[in-house]
């Protein structure tokens, strides 16, 4: 296959991030399996450094910079998880970082990004164009702009999730029928799909996105990149990208079996199920693949299904609401 | 050393529980390290099957039963985590189980124990003697009573936590100065201490218990088993044993450097810190060792300290209260 990222790029990324990133576990709960009617293996990627997979791609991208580029620093724009990933990777590699973030990002994401030592520039989701802000800031400082998904090295870094899933499933003696992956810009699904198509060729791969933000489902069907209608809302703040990325669409259109759009209510229930049965804290985006299974939208009866759960950066009030009641 | 459980018993237990129990990860958060002022390695034992370490000892004990004993079944009394451990181990080994539990145990513990297929007999914490109830039920059914801590095989099973801590610390290149372990009856601390004294001989081991239930602190100082004064209260429902066990005291008196008693308020803060920084759900007992570090009661400046965090079976309302506010 002639794709913009190869399996070897992911293997190389895995070598580069080893020691810095956490090899997160594949966990399972017998009681959750009973509810789902199949065997659900949860890639607990919320336990990653910075609480999401974004650290992998950011570290892989930043560690490829030469000395001059490292001195000049990096710029990124992000709703919060890529922000933390870039900030933490930059801190480890001693690179100055400026992050453009929405003013209404969850407080935990803003606080942690600051705590990793990054400079933060806020924008208004409704009014400002964060891409333009990022490009301008990078130009002003001769800094490198680090895209959150449409970049070969970033995609390769995220793909290390797929290598780990394959290795852990093999160690458990599990053959994966399907892998469900949360999808905004598409970097995690693209990288993971490349890794899995080589390592678990028999498994089908699906993207999962919030209702109202089903650009992937429609784009994959149409065979071209379609945008989300403006005005939709979801509490999955990490999955609100307006349209599939260019590189990520090229990959996902080739490798994915489809995309599922899940309602916020089902996501909140999945957050509660992860709390009760897996003992994992998940943010809405992190619970969306699990929600696709528990809501019955993805039928996993008699199947072994891996759901990727990332990230886990959620404000206490949002989490409290999700786990309230029965 | 002439102790009732040897290092070899723990190695044997590790072989027996492999595949059934989860080898839980040792996790760390750079931001949490900054708050604590030292390197904190968290043994995320809440991710164990049934949400606590109790499964290890239960499975090790039950798998040693012969065919006749398996048919006759097992009886256990427990506030809830040993209950689930025995129920889940019994289900895996196809052994009937009766569990004596307090009527006011957290709902999640009662529900899960039932879900694993055990028969439940309720008792009143204030009025009934659960030991007598357990002994009577076992006699009536010719069943085997499975103690929650004062049993060599149970202690050996819990000790596998220590083997895993040592292996993971070694893989991370960390030398442990101290290991802090939640302590009720003392089975986890006793088993873990035996494993660590062989595998990490330089590390000091401390028990951590709730304020008002500081029988270990006083007993270790006095050199004999002292009871808790009646009437004390703590929301650490898994750590309310009235007095150190016999076997566990014999071991812990020899191997532990001391015990720390921590207030519920500090435990609640540690539950919130685990939510924010580790992305782990912990019940009060599961957060108590982390609380000893974060409250400053155990000074970890410049040290590498492992805190064992088990279990994670907490009702949503209790968890919602703990993570409320700043």
pLDDT tens, position by position, A251-286? 999 999 999 999 999 999 999 999 999 999 999 999
Chain B residue whose CA is closest to A47: B279
A130 pLDDT above the threshold of 80 = yes
**Mean pLDDT score, B212-236:** 96
Tell me the C-alpha to C-alpha distance, in Å, between residue B74 and each of B21, B71, B128, B147, B200: 20, 9, 20, 10, 35
In this model, does residue B326 exceed pLDDT 60? no
Q: Is B22 left (phi over 0), alpha (psi -120 to 50) or beta?
A: beta
A49 reaches B (C-beta below 8 A)? yes
> Which two tokens mark A270?
């999945």
Q: Mean pLDDT across the stretch B53-74?
A: 98
Measured N-to-C along each axis, helices B107-115 and B81-93 cross at an angle, to the nearest 10 degrees, of: 10
Confidence band of B1 (pLDDT split at 50, 70, 90): low
Residue A27 has pLDDT above 80, yes or no: yes
Which residues of chain A have a CB within 8 Å of the CB of B31? 112, 115
Q: Which of A44, A316, A324 sits opposite B275 (nearest CB)?
A: A316
- Percent of chain A's residues with pLDDT above 90: 97
* A115 contact B CB<8A: yes
Secondary structure (DSSP) of A11-22: HHHHHHHBTTB-
Tokens, residue A157: 């870094």
B107: contact with A, CB 8 A cutoff: no
Interval B140-165: pLDDT, tens: 999 999 999 999 999 999 999 999 99
Rg (CA), chain A: 18
Q: What is the tens place of the pLDDT at every residue in B16-32?
A: 999 999 999 999 999 99
Q: What is the mean pLDDT of residues A236-255?
A: 96
B73 in Cβ contact with B65 (< 8 Å): no
Question: A231: alpha, beta or left, given left = phi > 0 and alpha = psi -120 to 50?
Answer: left
The answer, yes or no, to whether residue B120 has pLDDT greater than 80, is yes
Tokens of A101: 């973030």
> What CATH number belongs to A7-52+152-322?
3.40.50.1100
B 60-99: CB under 8 A from A: 88
| Average pLDDT over all residues of chain B | 96
CB contact under 8 A, A275 and B30: no
Furthest C-alpha separation in chain A = 56
Question: Which residues partner with A182 through β-bridges?
Answer: A208
ipTM: 0.95
Model confidence pLDDT, tens digit, residues B273-318: 999 999 999 999 999 999 999 999 999 999 999 999 999 999 999 9
pLDDT of residue A1: 59
**DSSP classification of residue A237:** G
Out of A31, A108, A116, the one facing B115 most closely (by C-beta) is A31
- Measure CB to CB from residue A279 to each of B30, B34, B46 and give the nearest one: B46
pLDDT of B82 above 70: yes
Q: What tokens does A66 get?
A: 């030469």
| Closest Cβ opposite residue B281 in set A49, A88, A280 | A280
Distance CA B105, CA B125 (A): 9
How far is Cα B114 from Cα B39, in angstroms, rounded to an integer? 39
Q: What is the DSSP letter of B278?
A: I
Within 8 A of A25 by CB-CB distance, chain B residues are: 22, 25, 47
Name the minimum distance, in Å, from the CA of A165 to any CA of chain B.
16
Q: A106 to chain B, minimum CA–CA distance in Å?
A: 12
What average pLDDT does chain A have? 96
What pLDDT, on a 0 to 100 scale, did the predictor assign at position A125? 85
The single residue listed with the structure tokens 């297929």 is B117
Q: How far apart are CA A56 and CA A53, in angstroms?
A: 6
Distance, CA of B313 to CA of A146 (rounded, Å): 41
Domain extent listing, chain A: 7-52+152-322, 55-145
A55-145 and A7-52+152-322 share a CATH fold = yes
Residues B243-267, mean pLDDT to the nearest whole number: 98
Residue B2: which pLDDT band, with cuts at 50, 70 and 90?
confident
Q: In what order do the strands lie in the sheet with B204-210?
A: B26-27, B39-44, B304-309, B178-182, B204-210, B258-262
Q: What is the pLDDT of residue A304?
A: 98
pTM: 0.96
Please classify residue A111 by burial: count the beta carbons closer than 10 Å to its beta carbon, then call 0-12 exposed, 13-18 middle and 19+ buried. middle
Nearest CA in chain A to B319: A320
H helices of A172-223, in order, are: 187-199, 215-222
Instruction: Tell me which residue of B289, B283, B232 sits closest to B260, measured CA to CA.
Output: B289
Option in A30, A276, A323 nearest B320 (CB) = A323
Model pLDDT, residue A326: 56
Max distance between CA atoms of chain B, in angstroms, equals 56
> Assign residue A199 a region: left if phi > 0, alpha if psi is -120 to 50, beta otherwise?
alpha
Tell me: pLDDT of A138 over 90.
Answer: yes
Q: CATH number of the domain at B55-145, out of 2.40.50.140, 3.30.230.70, 2.120.10.30, 3.40.50.1100?
A: 3.40.50.1100
What is the rounded distance in angstroms from the CA atom of residue A307 to the CA atom of residue A291? Answer: 9
Closest-CA residue in chain A for B20? A172
Q: How many CA atoms lie within 13 A of B156 on its CB side?
A: 24
Rounded to whole angstroms, the Cα distance separating A303 from A130 reads 42
Residues in A closer than 8 angstroms to B316, CB to CB, are 272, 275-276, 323-325
Output Rg (C-alpha) for chain B, integer angstroms.
Answer: 18
Q: HSE on the CB side for A250, CA within 13 Å?
A: 13
Rounded CA gap, A35 and B176, in Å?
A: 40
Interface of B with A in 206-225 (CB under 8 A): none
């Amino acid at each position: 296959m002639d794709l913009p990222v190869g399996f070897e790029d992911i293997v190389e990324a895995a070598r580069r991030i080893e020691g810095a990133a956490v090899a997160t576990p594949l966990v399972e709960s017998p009681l959750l399996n009973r509810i789902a009617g199949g065997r659900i293996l949860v890639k607990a990627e919320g336990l990653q450094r910075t609480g999401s997979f974004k650290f992998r791609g950011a570290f892989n991208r930043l560690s490829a910079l030469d000395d001059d580029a490292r001195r000049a620093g990096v710029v990124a724009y992000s709703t919060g998880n890529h922000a933390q990933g870039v900030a933490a990777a930059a801190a480890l590699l001693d690179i100055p970082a400026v992050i453009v973030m929405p003013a209404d990002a969850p407080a935990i994401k803003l606080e942690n990004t600051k705590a990793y030592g990054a400079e933060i520039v806020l924008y208004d989701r409704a009014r400002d164009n964060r891409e333009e802000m990022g490009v301008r800031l990078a130009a002003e400082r001769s800094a490198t702009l680090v895209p959150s998904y449409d970049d070969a090295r970033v995609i390769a870094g995220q793909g290390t999730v797929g290598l780990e899933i394959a290795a852990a499933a093999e160690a458990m003696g599990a053959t994966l029928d399907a892998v469900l992956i949360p999808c905004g810009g598409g970097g995690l699904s693209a990288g993971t799909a490349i890794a899995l198509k080589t390592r678990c060729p028999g498994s089908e791969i699906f993207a999962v996105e919030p209702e109202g933000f089903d650009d992937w489902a429609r784009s994959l069907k149409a065979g071209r990149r379609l945008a989300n209608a403006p005005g939709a809302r979801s509490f999955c703040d990490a999955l609100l990208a307006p349209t599939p990325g260019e590189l990520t669409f090229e990959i996902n259109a080739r490798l994915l079996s489809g995309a599922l759009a899940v309602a916020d209510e089902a996501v909140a229930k999945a957050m509660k199920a992860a709390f009760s049965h897996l003992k994992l804290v998940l943010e809405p985006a992190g619970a969306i693949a699990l929600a696709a299974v528990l809501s019955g939208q993805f039928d996993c009866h008699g199947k072994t299904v891996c759901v990727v759960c990332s990230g886990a950066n959620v404000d206490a009030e949002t989490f409290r609401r999700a786990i309230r009641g029965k």
